């Protein structure tokens, strides 16, 4: 568990706008009143926690930025997170893995890599990834030139498309594995300790990644909210 956490707190309930009157705090997780409970994700592992704050007191010197201006700090951090959350390198790796394993997996007596529909699917991913890579470079370059510290709303485009590619390229690798991609949970392995593995490690691990990445379109700001930001701040709708 991390030693510190960031916390957005309402410090002015009478602020004229909801995003105003919020303060950004850095909180020591050893502070009395903090309770952490693990959340087991759908992939069967522990990635996240739910945190409860009961009468927790945080010293004023742990405030980040000005009082009631915490949302400005949060927007800056979210803008940077959404730029990097696309994780294009991981999507590229997934496509390469799919092509590599498709040379080994047989379908109708031939390697899957020779299937026309599979090759079309791979080509479409490679085009989409290259397009997003160029867009990401443009967003980063524009942000560096602006030098105003404000988040670029186009980072929401990176977040939307990047997480969709993460999910769909992982799904493609899982599809290559087919029935071999059945996950072997730890509890099942203990009960079947004398049985062989259900499938190759790359296939079962891909399925666990696929399940965990259902959250990719939620963390960092849900993709639905990101689409609202793009429609308003980018398209002016």
Q: Where are the domains of the chain?
A: 4-68, 73-234
User: If you write DSSP's letter for every residue of 107-149 in order, what string do you get?
Assistant: ETTEEGGG-HHHHHHHHHHHHHHHHHHHHHHHHHHHHHHH-S-
The average pLDDT across 56-61 equals 92
At residue 7, does pLDDT exceed 70?
A: yes
Q: What is the pLDDT of residues 11-58, one digit of tens each?
A: 999 998 888 999 999 999 999 999 999 998 888 888 888 999 999 999
Q: What is the pLDDT of residues 170-226, one digit of tens each?
A: 999 999 999 888 876 655 544 555 555 567 888 988 998 999 999 888 988 899 999
pTM here is: 0.79
Specify the CATH class of 4-68 in words.
mainly beta
Q: Which fold has domain 73-234?
A: Butyryl-CoA Dehydrogenase, subunit A; domain 3 (1.20.140)
């Amino acid at each position: 568990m991390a030693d510190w956490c960031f916390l957005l707190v309402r410090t002015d309930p009478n602020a004229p706008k909801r995003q105003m009157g919020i303060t950004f705090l850095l909180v020591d997780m050893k502070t009395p009143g903090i309770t952490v409970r693990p959340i087991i994700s759908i992939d069967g592992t522990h990635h996240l926690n739910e945190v409860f704050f009961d009468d927790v007191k945080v010293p004023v010197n742990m405030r980040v930025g000005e009082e009631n201006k915490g949302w400005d700090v949060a927007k800056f951090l979210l803008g940077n997170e959404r730029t990097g959350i696309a994780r294009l390198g991981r999507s590229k790796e997934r496509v390469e893995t799919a092509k590599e394993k498709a040379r080994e997996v047989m379908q109708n007596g031939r390697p899957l890599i020779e299937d026309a529909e599979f090759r079309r699917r791979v080509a479409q991913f490679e085009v989409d990834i290259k397009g997003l890579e160029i867009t990401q470079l443009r967003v980063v370059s524009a942000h560096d030139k602006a030098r105003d510290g404000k988040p670029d709303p186009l980072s929401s485009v990176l977040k939307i498309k990047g997480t969709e590619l993460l999910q769909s390229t992982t799904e493609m690798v899982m599809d290559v594995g087919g029935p071999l991609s059945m996950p072997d949970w730890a509890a099942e392995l203990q009960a079947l300790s004398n049985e062989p593995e259900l499938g190759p490690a790359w296939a079962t691990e891909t399925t666990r990644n696929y399940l965990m990445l259902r959250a990719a379109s939620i963390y960092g700001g849900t993709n639905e909210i990101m689409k609202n930001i793009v429609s308003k701040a980018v398209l002016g709708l």
